[in-house]
Amino acid sequence: DQQVKQNSPSLSVQEGRISILNCDYTNSMFDYFLWYKKYPAEGPTFLISISSIKDKNEDGRFTVFLNKSAKHLSLHIVPSQPGDSAVYFCAASAITQGGSEKLVFGKGTKLTVNP
């Protein structure tokens, strides 16, 4: 049951160029989307998020775009830096029937930024 899909397991870009990480989802009840960054042996750390009522959110070098009709979101990192090399997880949140909230994660995309 892959409600959140990250179809690219890995991505390699040159330092200074743009990194674009993609995410697709199937559940139209998702109302909030988050990107997490994860280094080896560490927990996911929050990067940026977007509400379903918006189509773009920007924070410094990071911009998330949401296309609700296509059920697609993307994370743009520009310019990419070697320190951005990590696994990036797309996550979606929904309030369940019971009123609780949980995150559903994609499988992650390993980004490598080459100097």
Torsion (CA) 35, 45, 37, 113 in degrees, nearest 10: 130
Among 68, 71, 103, 112, binds other proteins (CB under 8 A): 103
SS3 99: coil
The answer to whether the peptide bond before residue 79 is cis (omega within 30 degrees of 0) is: yes
Question: Strand 4-5 and strand 62-67: pairing?
Answer: unpaired
Per-residue mark of binding to other proteins, 9-48 (x: CB under 8 A): -----------------------x-x-x----xxxxxx--
Between 24 and 80, name the residue whose CB sits nearer to other proteins: 24
Q: Using CB under 8 A, list all residues that contact other proteins.
A: 32, 34, 36, 41-46, 49, 89, 91, 93, 96, 98-108
